[in-house]
Structure 1
Amino acid sequence: MAKQSPLKVAFGAIFFMSICFFLYNFEAIGTTSTTSRSKHIESLDTSTTSSSTSLPTSTKPKPTNVKSKKPAAASKTNKPSAPTIDPKNLDVEQIEADFPMGYKNPRTWFQPLPAPNERNLLQILTAEQRELLPSLASQAQLSQKQLSKINTFYGINREGGWQDHIESLDDDGLAPLTKWAQKYVYDHQHPASCEGKTFYILEEKTPWYGLGAAVRVIFRELELAISVGRILVLDPKNPPGGHLMSNDCGEYRGRNASLECVLEDITSCAAYATPENSVREIPPNTVPGGNKFVPPLPAVALTMYMKETGLALSGAFLRYWWHAQMYAYVFRPNPQTLARMVEMRMNKTLHTAVDTNVRDKDGKAKLHTVPFPLPPSTLSMHIRHGDKAIEGRLISTRDYIVTAERFILRNPITYRKRAFVTTEDPGAIEEIKKTTGINPVGTAYSNPNWYWSYSNIPRFDGSPFQNLRLSVNRTDAMIMHIMQLWMAVECDAFVGNRNSNWNKLIDSIRCTLMDKCRAPYLDAGYSADWLHFP
């Protein structure tokens, strides 16, 4: 073997010793880190006391010169660093919430801030500054323009009919092409002359449906009539929706009970329909263009509109948009209904507000009257329970509230914990009255606890018919429910579940008969339950 030079031997020895030293320190650092990490895991793992708090045998660190303390056994006296919560017991909203599993920020600044002391602050202000306060406070009220729109929505001080009201609304707050679409349907059903027209006579097909579903049936048939060029007429002998009204509701007009007792006449040409110029069925496969849901002209019009925005049009959006237009045309209260709705709306004994921020000496929430209109930043919350369980998943009252709170938490400057609640479930009303909030952590809400409003009407957690039977006069009860829908549209944000026809009505009316389509709509349910429903 060739003799190695002393210099190479020295370098080799130094290199070998460096490698050994590096490996030794790497192992020591890893062992210390693992031990520290094990201790940290032990302090956080409080979701169960049956799990082992030490590392598995195969991954235990090797002994070092530093003595490590053994993990302390779980005991009742040890305070956990986080609440004991099993994630399996939490629902989706809790897991996804901003404070999951009871997380608390340990920083000193994460403390609830005290409310300002108005009395003390007023003493600091100058007289000139105090003079500014009334005008600044008045900005919390609705503007005259907003108040005027809500008045005409109820028919108060309105000049003309529904078409005039729609024309007075701001285009930016309406669904696309609403003014044109409403005029298009109205002109089809109210031509300048009824002579020579053909008709589609619609009789009652679904006597078990409630109001929202009955309206949906009518506009589905109206879509077919428009597509084939016929005017829709309600059968005078067996009109749709008569089962929802009192039997005598049409007597003053010499007609049978129908939805036209409370809604505008669907056409001005009903007297011209005869057996010779009418049909009683329109097969969907006879509709031109193959789209039984949207007539050709509106379909092309919205397609071109979307092209101008640089976006493609989906079939789901086309149908939802057109259905909103149909809801708006069919669901227009007539002048007599509007007058009765105003009487009910202004009746202070018919509505109650519960302020859970203020308690009396017995600990009960303070009650208030409900103003007209509802204050700005009020949320509409329609909780659909009852017989909806037959055809879909019910959303708990709590989940509706969670949906609202998560939205307000992300928009604390604009929205408040104030809601107007509609529901057929008396249990939901009792639950909200006791609910100050769901999120246990103090946040940037403008008011700490909820301020609830609702109407004092008979309720039964069942079908629409069971609710109508609670009133002596079914027509008046129906008007009461329509009035509640109008109150919902007074609001500035909307919480609901589009799997419900009534929630679809709220969503549609706010975008067509009022210009609140840019206001947030928060669906507490599941899109898969309603997205492609015909």
Structure 2
Amino acid sequence: MEAQSNQKAIERVVSQKALQMGSSFPCQVCVVGFLCGVCLTTLFLAALTSFGAFGFSGVSLPTIAMGISQGNSSSNTINIFTRSDQDFDLKRPERNVDSVPSKEHQENERVSLLYSAWSALLKEPTDGREELRKLGLSRSAVPSAPHLEDCKSSAQVNKRLDSYDENEIFPPWTSWKASLEMHSASTNDEQLKKYRRREISEGSYPPWITGSDQENYPLTRKGQHDLWIHQHPSNCSDPSVRFLVADWERLPGFGIGAQIAGMCGLLAIALQEKRVLVTNYYNRANHDGCEGSARSSWSCYFLPETSQECRDRALELIGSHDAWKSGIVTGKQNYSSKQIWAGRIPQLWGDPWTYLQPTTEINGSLISRHRKMDRRWWRAQAVRYLMRFQTEYTCGLMNLARHAAFGEEAAKLVLTGLPEKWPQNAVEKPVSDIEKFVWSNHRPWIPRPLLSMHVRMGDKACEMKVVEFEDYMSLANRIRKRFPHLNSIWLSTEMQEVIDKSKSYASWNFYYTDVRRQVGNITMAKYEASLGRETSTNYPLVNFLMASDADFFIGALGSTWCFLIDGMRNTGGKVMAGYLSVNKDRFW
């Protein structure tokens, strides 16, 4: 008993001593440190084990020619997130939270997948479906792309609107928009047929003109209607029908803008002499992209300026000596340069240029009068007519450009309306009538409002005052002060220096075509030759059409190219958008 009592006494003494030691600060630090070390070691070992249980493949988001980045959309790749069978080994520890893809990462994967799916469909009918199969998608799982146009359908509609109806003496233009014309109501209802025939006979609605009369140059609708009727006689074989057949300018140094301006002059001559203008060899269309009869022809890019019947008749007559001698057919060689470039403007419509709305600003002042207002009005009408309908080829070029520039943004917008688990359980829904006949007439989506900025420098200094990119951006900031929601710019320029400088304006989103640009001061002819015929033609036309579709405009009206863009603005329902120019035309 005594020994047991002594043992308990010793234990009490030891316990009290241990308690005193444990309450000391150094001991507490040691204990806490020991416990932390155990925890960290355990977590580290668990992480190593978990990491070995899973495999990931990287996701490469598409690079696009937008903002301050530049890339080639044709090289977009995507790797689908994968998991190994070890995920389902119940003996393995659960996946660490840090290894689970974030919601943002998953969303980026879906954006990349949808962008790649649309890229595959742009390759149809060659290998689009095969590309979709590689992505693990079916055609029915891919939603419509709001920024892309159905080029085949549009080409069919355009061709119908650019020709006479059977047994009719007027083109099929009514106030009903394109696809609605094919709705059963317009073809089966006798009352509607009556109204349709009356509208067609009046010819008041050239379908390529948008906006009200107040939003276009005076008499734009009337002028476009009369130009089409003049260029499309009902019987081209009638001996009274005369022709002016002309190649496009191809002298070295003539840019696309100068070629178009020259053809506008020839159209004016044809109109005044009551001839049908037939354009012939177009050197810029002499490349492999323009196939068949469209090669070396304006009709590769836009519907021809006259009917095929008139073209065939004119080309037949140019082989006849008597036709030339009698004046039934004439050519460019029959007219002087002054007549072509500075000749009289057609007077068929009076003088509508005398009351143009002053919507152009140069050096802070609205320009209400200048010496060439008549030529400005006429060239706007002529270029609008020549570019009234895009071909399927041009439509495809525009689709590629919009997809490269805006495709990622479009994918993000579309995904907000899709189930979170897309593309799983995707269900194809039938196309409703309102989608087919009404919404199909809407223009492809682009981020709006969009500012068109064409910066012309390089060898243009011999023709006009050239200013730095900073001056253009100063005008852009002026517009944004009035319209603070404006932050997107479609930038067209031949100078790499301009693209580089745009990167310093972080508050703006810049979009531009992905093409090699000039470095240094070389002539435009040498620069275009270095790009090759196809690229040097396609990318400027894409820029031109994108610029024409913008909401605000900045440029240099001393440049023919900007002058023509302004003409498209003033016949495209955008007169009141205004135009801010860094200089004026040298002939004003």
The answer to whether structure 1 residue 293 and structure 2 residue 344 are counterparts is yes
Q: 1:390 to 1:327 in 2, by over 3 A?
A: same
For residue 560 of structure 2, the aligned residue among 476, 480, 501 is: 501
SS in 2 for 1:398: helix
Partner of residue 262, structure 2 = 217
Q: 1:261 to 1:224 in 2, by over 3 A?
A: same
For residue 324 of structure 1, the aligned residue among 380, 385, 389 is: 380
Amino acid corresponding to residue 278 of structure 1 in structure 2: V
Q: Distance in 2 between matches of 1:217 and 1:387?
A: 20
Deviation, structure 1 residue 323? 1.2
Cα deviations by residue, 1:86-105 (Å, 9 ceiling, x for unpaired): xxxxxxxxxxxxxxxxxxxx
Q: Distance in 1 between matches of 2:548 and 2:446?
A: 10
Amino acid corresponding to residue 198 of structure 1 in structure 2: R
The answer to whether structure 1 residue 339 and structure 2 residue 398 are counterparts is no
Q: 1:520 to 1:148 in 2, by over 3 A?
A: farther
Cα deviations by residue, 1:317-373 (Å, 9 ceiling, x for unpaired): 2221111101111234542233322431343379899xxxxxxxxxxxxxxxxx963
Partner of residue 192, structure 1 = 234
Deviation, structure 1 residue 487? 1.9
Partner of residue 546, structure 2 = 487
Equivalent pair of 2:243/2:278 in contact (CA under 8 Å): yes
SS in 2 for 1:375: coil
Q: With CA pairs under 8 Å and 6+ residues apart, which has the higher RCO, 1 or 2?
A: 2
After TM superposition, the score normalised by the length of structure 2 is 0.51
Q: Distance in 2 between matches of 1:190 and 1:469?
A: 36
Cα deviations by residue, 1:428-460 (Å, 9 ceiling, x for unpaired): 000011234xxxxxxxxxxxx323222222222
Amino acid corresponding to residue 573 of structure 2 in structure 1: D
Cα deviations by residue, 1:183-211 (Å, 9 ceiling, x for unpaired): 11111111111122111221354422111
The within-5 A match list for 1:34-183 is 159-160=157-158, 161=161, 164-167=206-209, 169-183=211-225
Q: 1:349 to 1:295 in 2, by over 3 A?
A: closer
For residue 508 of structure 2, the aligned residue among 420, 432, 450 is: 450
Deviation, structure 1 residue 477? 4.6
Deviation, structure 1 residue 232? 1.5
Q: Distance in 2 between matches of 1:299 and 1:505?
A: 22
For residue 518 of structure 2, the aligned residue among 460, 465, 468 is: 460
SS in 2 for 1:340: helix
Deviation, structure 1 residue 285? 12
Deviation, structure 1 residue 508? 1.2
Partner of residue 247, structure 2 = 203
Q: Distance in 2 between matches of 1:211 and 1:154?
A: 27
Larger deviation, residues 270-279 vs 213-222: 270-279
Deviation, structure 1 residue 315? 5.7
SS in 1 for 2:491: strand
Partner of residue 85, structure 1 = none
Equivalent pair of 1:154/1:342 in contact (CA under 8 Å): no
**Sequence identity percentage:** 23
Larger deviation, residues 255-264 vs 149-158: 149-158
SS in 2 for 1:507: helix
Equivalent pair of 1:458/1:467 in contact (CA under 8 Å): no
Equivalent pair of 1:344/1:480 in contact (CA under 8 Å): no
Q: Distance in 1 between matches of 2:148 and 2:400?
A: 15
Deviation, structure 1 residue 516? 1.4
Q: 1:390 to 1:313 in 2, by over 3 A?
A: closer
Partner of residue 233, structure 1 = 278
Partner of residue 429, structure 1 = 499
- Relative to total residues, which structure has the larger helix share, 1 or 2? 2
Deviation, structure 1 residue 296? 1.9
For residue 488 of structure 2, the aligned residue among 399, 404, 418 is: 418
Larger deviation, residues 336-345 vs 148-157: 148-157
Deviation, structure 1 residue 405? 1.6
The answer to whether structure 1 residue 388 and structure 2 residue 460 are counterparts is yes
Q: 1:167 to 1:486 in 2, by over 3 A?
A: closer
SS in 1 for 2:348: helix
Q: 1:404 to 1:314 in 2, by over 3 A?
A: closer
Deviation, structure 1 residue 164? 4.7
Aligned residues: 337
SS in 2 for 1:295: coil
SS in 2 for 1:455: coil
Q: Distance in 1 between matches of 2:527 and 2:406?
A: 17
Equivalent pair of 1:327/1:509 in contact (CA under 8 Å): yes
Structure 2 stretches lacking a partner, 5+ long? 1-144, 163-204, 358-367, 410-442
SS in 2 for 1:279: strand
Partner of residue 270, structure 1 = 311
Deviation, structure 1 residue 509? 1.4
Deviation, structure 1 residue 258? 3.4
Deviation, structure 1 residue 302? 5.5
